[in-house]
């Protein structure tokens, strides 16, 4: 087994190997883990890989790639084998990155303050004044505790001699800590015994420190008139939105840290304070953990073209009314040329020697550096010194003669715009081969290490995000370019700190933390989440009713098939016929085979047609989109249910679409829908957010039921046998009906059950009563007037005399008065429900969303 495990793993290489020492012996920190791998059976490993894949899919771990033809969400790649680092090795890394965090914080303090580094020439002024990430209006702004960097990350790589180097600094708003956490949660469950027995350090206390430190520094004057009288400062996580490549992480971290996830439009500055717009009004925000680039944060003083920021934010920061982490302006330190000047800055600002070197970096603005870069071009990569150049890195060893000359000419013409950097040979670590189940393969690795500011100094996360190259010999590692990732196990000889911030993933209501922090945007999305869940369920049920009659069409079910088809047409569920005639005209029964084929193709198209927006696929996509907007408000299990639905949709759309597959898919959709409904009823806190979700569901169901029954009463084809039966099936009331009446379905009792019944959750009347109750509660909490229009509708329904249907032979009636009048009344109900939806939107959501915002200069 060991032979096969390492049979294609090179024993000798020109790189450092994380697992094997020279000569091929195992490093001691890997021994236990490797022994376990050797002992594991192929089946075990297959199960583990499968578990990793499933968890990633179900947790919805994605990394959005803007230009990915497969769509924006690409599953996160995770190799199950961790990168293992010994305690002593970690001590060295930890000390070095802590020093670097202190240094970079001091550099920011200097550059946005006294600028002594520029005055004495330690740092060229071109790299600051000429850099578009130097935010001029931020000069002189001093953050609380002189802390500019709250969360810093360093990308580390190991050279062949075993030394660690810093290959990049992340100071803007480092991503990856959340992915590291998610990787840890998955991998620690794949290898639970090894994780426990090897003394792997836990990550949770790092995040607690980050949270506590933000709380500590958040400017919070205690209770004030506008902040609702809470004692704890309100900290929010500011995201650019769901289209950002690391949005999954934003929502994951927000949930993990217990911060509301907000977008720029959720926040507003009044006077010099920042507020969160919520259903109950404005709520003072004391700290913002931002994942939005700093120059986008304030369209008034920073980038005027930013639609993502908060106008006036910088003034609030300047006035000391809000903490922004990392401080606005910290992106400057990601400058490509800076590393070359850090040793000098370290001596000057800290009086220390820089402990861990940066990868060799030369700014060509220095004449000697320019000459060095030109004569060593083959082993260097050339980068732009300023982001405004939008220059892709140029690898010297890939240039032909003419290209090389052109590059040198460019460098000589404007040397200060170029930076030369040494090419890095990453160390390698084993990954599990995906194609077969018994081999390890070597891949280049780099580790992103995270550091958080605390009042006691900088603290390193004992672990990190290990990124894995896509091929064995690459010199680039990028999640955007198809790389993978690993968990990072940092061993300790001391006792492991087992503190956890994780909430119980199962069942506990996770939807809304507290009503007062609910942003109006979130509430609106929850409302639409309710509506789309219900809409998917309704459409799926109707199509199932139709398709199942198509499957076993005999002469008996044929009329029922026709009437369901007619209802689908009346509700405009089917793709519009290109020829113009909506297919409402029935052919004679003679050519029913052709007719059936036509029905089948239309109904199948209504399920999966991409072009047909009102079809099931379109509605599921909308549901998933709205769900993604409020992702951090759902429990993991709820989220799993959504992801399963997406998965089924994808799988179904890829296979050959036959009627059997379609029915199976519809069953899945209905199952997922009822799961979501169950979560909503059973697992969510009863606050206003939840109330809006349920109101959304009720409104949607009310519209669907009343329009369906109204059309049913008007359609001619529903007079045929078997129609009332499917109507009961459509309203999920067939079981109740049979238990009550034990006869063939008849119109009067059916209408009583699905229109006038107060106990049947699929009855029109039930929806109205439920809505009245929730709206009443809502207006009581918000201090608004009660909605009178709903009462009018309820009264009209109550006043309808059902006895008029007594003795009526439905199979014979044609537009008789009772049917006609009830249909008219139900149309009114549907109309009132749609109107109610509009009024809610106007009243509770309208102050956000579509209102235009412009930057004007004069």
Candidate residues 75, 136, 594, 780; the one interacting with another protein per rule CB under 8 A: 136
Candidate residues 118, 505, 671, 813; the one interacting with another protein per rule CB under 8 A: 118
CB nearer another protein, residue 744 or residue 857? 857
Q: Cα–Cα distance between 257 and 352 in angstroms, integer?
A: 35
- Residues β-bridged to residue 683: none
Q: Taking CB under 8 A as the rule, does residue 856 contact another protein?
A: yes
CB nearer another protein, residue 139 or residue 789? 139
CA atoms in the 13 A half-sphere facing the CB of 261: 27
For 158, which DSSP code? E
Q: How far is the CB of 134 from another protein (least distance, A)?
A: 10
Q: Taking CB under 8 A as the rule, does residue 850 contact another protein?
A: no
Q: How far is the CB of 309 from another protein (least distance, A)?
A: 9
Does an H or E element contain 261, and which?
strand 261-262
- Alpha carbon distances (Å) from 493 to 188, 201, 665, 758: 19, 10, 52, 66
Candidate residues 67, 232, 402, 413; the one interacting with another protein per rule CB under 8 A: 413
Q: How many residues does the chain have?
A: 858
Q: Are 606 and 615 in contact (CB under 8 A)?
A: yes
Collect contacts of 802-805 with beta carbons under 8 A, ≥24 apart: 802/748, 802/751, 802/752, 802/756, 805/747, 805/748, 805/751
Candidate residues 23, 222, 783, 852; the one interacting with another protein per rule CB under 8 A: 852
Candidate residues 23, 28, 67, 121; the one interacting with another protein per rule CB under 8 A: 121
Residues 361-390 close enough to bind another protein by CB under 8 A: 365-367, 386, 388
Does an H or E element contain 74, and which?
strand 73-75
Q: How far is the CB of 858 from another protein (least distance, A)?
A: 4
Residues in contact with another protein, counted by CB under 8 A, come to a total of: 44
Q: Taking CB under 8 A as the rule, does residue 65 contact another protein?
A: no
Site string for another protein, 490-519 (x = CB under 8 A): ------------------------------
Q: Cα–Cα distance between 147 and 149 in angstroms, integer?
A: 6
Q: Are 51 and 192 in contact (CB under 8 A)?
A: no
Q: Are 150 and 210 in contact (CB under 8 A)?
A: yes
Residues 699-738 close enough to bind another protein by CB under 8 A: none
Candidate residues 88, 95, 129, 507; the one interacting with another protein per rule CB under 8 A: 129
Q: Taking CB under 8 A as the rule, does residue 824 contact another protein?
A: no
Q: Please, is 749 exposed, middle or buried when counting C-beta atoms within 10 Å of its C-beta (0-12, 13-18, 19+)?
A: middle
Q: Taking CB under 8 A as the rule, does residue 416 contact another protein?
A: yes
Q: Are 802 and 712 in contact (CB under 8 A)?
A: no
CB nearer another protein, residue 232 or residue 413? 413
Q: How far is the CB of 126 from another protein (least distance, A)?
A: 6
DSSP per residue, 159-195: -TTS-EEEEEEE-SS---HHHHHHHHHHHHHHSHHHH
Q: How far is the CB of 855 from another protein (least distance, A)?
A: 5
CB nearer another protein, residue 319 or residue 471? 319
Q: Cα–Cα distance between 594 and 581 in angstroms, integer?
A: 16
Q: Which two tokens stand for residue 385?
A: 């010194």
Q: How far is the CB of 310 from another protein (least distance, A)?
A: 10
Q: Cα–Cα distance between 245 and 78 in angstroms, integer?
A: 17
CB nearer another protein, residue 409 or residue 682? 409
Site string for another protein, 259-298 (x = CB under 8 A): ---------xxxxx--------------------------
Q: Which residues contact 32 (CB under 8 A, 6 or more apart)?
A: 194, 197, 198
CB nearer another protein, residue 82 or residue 312? 312
Candidate residues 7, 88, 125, 224; the one interacting with another protein per rule CB under 8 A: 125
Using CB under 8 A, which of the segments 134-142, 469-477, 578-586, 816-824 binds another protein? 134-142
CB nearer another protein, residue 122 or residue 608? 122
Q: How far is the CB of 386 from another protein (least distance, A)?
A: 7
Q: Which of 37, 43, 377 is nearest to 193 (CA)?
A: 37
Q: Taking CB under 8 A as the rule, does residue 68 contact another protein?
A: no
Q: How far is the CB of 515 from another protein (least distance, A)?
A: 25
CB nearer another protein, residue 189 or residue 847? 847
Q: How far is the CB of 391 from another protein (least distance, A)?
A: 14
Q: Which of 709, 715, 695, 707 is nearest to 831 (CA)?
A: 707
CB nearer another protein, residue 67 or residue 858? 858
Candidate residues 60, 264, 311, 329; the one interacting with another protein per rule CB under 8 A: 311
CB nearer another protein, residue 397 or residue 855? 855
Q: Taking CB under 8 A as the rule, does residue 139 contact another protein?
A: yes
Q: How far is the CB of 298 from another protein (least distance, A)?
A: 9
Q: Taking CB under 8 A as the rule, does residue 414 contact another protein?
A: yes
Q: Cα–Cα distance between 820 and 825 in angstroms, integer?
A: 9
CB nearer another protein, residue 271 or residue 320? 271
Q: How far is the CB of 278 from another protein (least distance, A)?
A: 17
CA atoms in the 13 A half-sphere facing the CB of 727: 34
Pairing of strands 323-325, 287-290: parallel
Candidate residues 57, 86, 130, 605; the one interacting with another protein per rule CB under 8 A: 130
CB nearer another protein, residue 316 or residue 703? 316
Answer positive or negative: Cα dihedral of 460, 463, 468, 473.
positive
Q: Taking CB under 8 A as the rule, does residue 114 contact another protein?
A: no
Q: How far is the CB of 349 from another protein (least distance, A)?
A: 17
Q: Cα–Cα distance between 276 and 243 in angstroms, integer?
A: 22
Bond from prior residue into 326 cis (ω within 30 degrees of 0): yes
Q: Please, is 517 exposed, middle or buried when counting C-beta atoms within 10 Å of its C-beta (0-12, 13-18, 19+)?
A: buried
For 720, which DSSP code? S
Strands of the 235-238 sheet, one edge to the other: 261-262, 235-238, 287-290, 323-325
Per residue in 190-205, is it b (16+ CB within 10 Å) or e — as a string? bbeebbeebbbbbbbb
Candidate residues 145, 219, 241, 304; the one interacting with another protein per rule CB under 8 A: 304
- Alpha carbon distances (Å) from 31 to 35, 41, 189, 430: 6, 18, 20, 14
Candidate residues 87, 126, 605, 671; the one interacting with another protein per rule CB under 8 A: 126
Site string for another protein, 625-664 (x = CB under 8 A): ----------------------------------------
Q: How far is the CB of 750 from another protein (least distance, A)?
A: 51
Q: Which two tokens stand for residue 271?
A: 């006077």
CB nearer another protein, residue 370 or residue 695? 370
Candidate residues 80, 82, 109, 124; the one interacting with another protein per rule CB under 8 A: 124
Q: Cα–Cα distance between 452 and 150 in angstroms, integer?
A: 5
CB nearer another protein, residue 5 or residue 297? 297
Footprint on this chain of another protein (rule: CB under 8 A): 115, 118-121, 124-126, 129-130, 132, 136-137, 139-140, 268-272, 299-301, 304, 311-312, 315, 365-367, 386, 388, 413-414, 416, 847, 851-858
């Amino acid at each position: 087994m060991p032979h096969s495990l390492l049979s294609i793993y090179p024993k000798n290489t020109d790189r450092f190997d994380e697992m094997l020492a020279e000569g091929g012996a195992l490093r001691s920190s890997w021994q236990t883990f490797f022994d376990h791998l050797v002992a594991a059976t192929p089946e075990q490993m297959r199960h583990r890989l499968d578990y990793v894949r499933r968890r990633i899919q179900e947790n919805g771990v994605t990394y959005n790639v803007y230009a990915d033809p497969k769509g924006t969400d690409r599953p996160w790649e995770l190799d199950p084998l961790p990168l293992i680092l010994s305690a002593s090795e970690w001590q060295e890394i930890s000390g070095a990155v802590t020093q670097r965090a202190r240094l970079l914080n001091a550099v920011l303090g200097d550059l946005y303050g006294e600028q002594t580094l520029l005055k004495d020439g330690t740092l060229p002024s071109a790299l600051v004044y000429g850099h578009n990430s130097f935010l001029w209006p931020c000069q002189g702004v001093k953050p609380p505790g002189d802390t500019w960097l709250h969360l810093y990350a360093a990308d580390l790589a190991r050279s062949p001699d075993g030394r660690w180097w810093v290959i990049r600094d992340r100071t803007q708003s480092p991503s990856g800590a959340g992915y590291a956490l998610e990787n840890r949660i998955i991998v620690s469950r794949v290898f639970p015994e090894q994780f426990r027995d090897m003394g792997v350090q836990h990550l949770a206390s790092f995040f607690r420190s980050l949270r506590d430190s933000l709380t500590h520094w958040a400017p919070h004057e205690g209770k004030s008139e506008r902040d609702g009288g809470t004692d704890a400062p309100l900290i929010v996580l500011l995201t650019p939105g769901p289209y950002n490549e690391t949005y999954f992480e934003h929502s994951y971290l927000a949930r993990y840290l217990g911060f509301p996830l907000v977008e720029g439009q959720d926040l507003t500055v009044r006077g010099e304070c920042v507020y969160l717009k919520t259903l109950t009004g404005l709520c003072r925000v004391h700290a913002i953990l931002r994942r939005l680039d700093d120059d986008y944060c304030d369209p008034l003083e920073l980038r005027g073209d930013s639609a993502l920021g908060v106008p006036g934010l910088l003034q609030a920061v300047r006035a000391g009314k809000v903490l922004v982490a990392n401080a606005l302006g910290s992106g400057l330190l990601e400058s490509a040329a800076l590393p070359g000047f850090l040793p000098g800055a370290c001596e000057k600002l800290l009086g220390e020697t820089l402990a861990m070197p940066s990868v060799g970096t030369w700014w060509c603005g220095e004449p000697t550096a320019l000459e060095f870069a030109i004569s060593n071009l083959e082993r260097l990569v050339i980068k732009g010194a300023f982001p405004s150049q939008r220059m892709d890195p140029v690898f010297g060893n890939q240039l032909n003669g003419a290209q090389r000359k052109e590059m040198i000419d460019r460098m000589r013409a404007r040397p200060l715009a170029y930076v030369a950097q040494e090419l890095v040979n990453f160390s390698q670590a084993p990954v599990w081969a995906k194609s077969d189940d018994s081999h390890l393969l070597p891949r280049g690795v780099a580790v992103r290490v995270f550091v958080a500011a605390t009042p006691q100094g900088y603290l390193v996360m004992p672990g990190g995000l290990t990124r894995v190259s896509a091929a064995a010999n690459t010199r680039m590692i990028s999640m955007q370019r198809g790389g993978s990732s690993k968990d990072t196990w940092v061993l300790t000889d001391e006792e492991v700190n087992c503190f956890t911030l994780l909430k119980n993933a199962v069942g506990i209501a996770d939807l809304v933390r507290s009503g007062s922090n609910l942003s109006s945007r979130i509430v609106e999305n929850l409302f639409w989440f309710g509506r789309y869940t219900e809409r998917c369920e309704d459409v799926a049920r109707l199509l199932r009713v139709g398709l199942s009659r198509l499957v076993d069409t005999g002469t008996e079910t044929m009329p029922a098939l026709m009437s369901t088809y007619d209802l689908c047409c009346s509700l405009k569920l089917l793709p519009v016929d290109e020829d113009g005639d909506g297919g409402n005209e029935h052919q004679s029964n003679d050519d029913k085979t052709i007719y059936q084929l036509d029905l089948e193709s239309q109904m199948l198209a209504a399920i999966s047609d991409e072009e047909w927006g009102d079809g099931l696929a379109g509605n599921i996509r909308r549901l998933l989109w709205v769900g993604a907007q409020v992702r951090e408000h759902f429990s993991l299990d709820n989220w799993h249910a959504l992801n399963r639905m997406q998965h089924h949709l994808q799988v179904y759309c890829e296979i050959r679409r036959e009627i059997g597959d379609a029915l199976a898919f519809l069953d899945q959709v209905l199952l997922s829908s009822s799961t979501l409904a169950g979560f909503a009823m059973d697992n969510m806190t009863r606050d206003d957010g939840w109330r809006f979700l349920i109101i959304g569901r009720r409104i949607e169901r009310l519209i669907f039921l009343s329009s369906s029954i109204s059309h049913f009463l008007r359609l001619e084809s529903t007079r045929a046998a078997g129609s009332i039966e499917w109507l009961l099936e459509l309203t999920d009331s067939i079981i109740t009906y049979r238990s009550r009446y034990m006869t063939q379905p008849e119109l009067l009792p059916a209408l009583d059950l699905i229109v006038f019944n107060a106990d049947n959750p699929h009855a029109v009347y039930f929806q109205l009563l439920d809505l009245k109750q929730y709206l009443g509660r809502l207006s009581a909490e918000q201090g608004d007037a009660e909605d009178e229009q709903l009462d009018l509708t309820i009264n009209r329904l109550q006043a309808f005399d059902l006895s008029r249907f007594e003795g009526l032979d439905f199979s014979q009636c044609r537009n008789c008065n009772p049917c006609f009048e009830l249909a008219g009344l139900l149309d009114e109900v549907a109309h009132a429900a749609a109107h109610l939806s509009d009024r809610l939107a106007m009243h509770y959501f309208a102050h956000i969303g579509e209102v235009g915002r412009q930057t004007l200069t004069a």
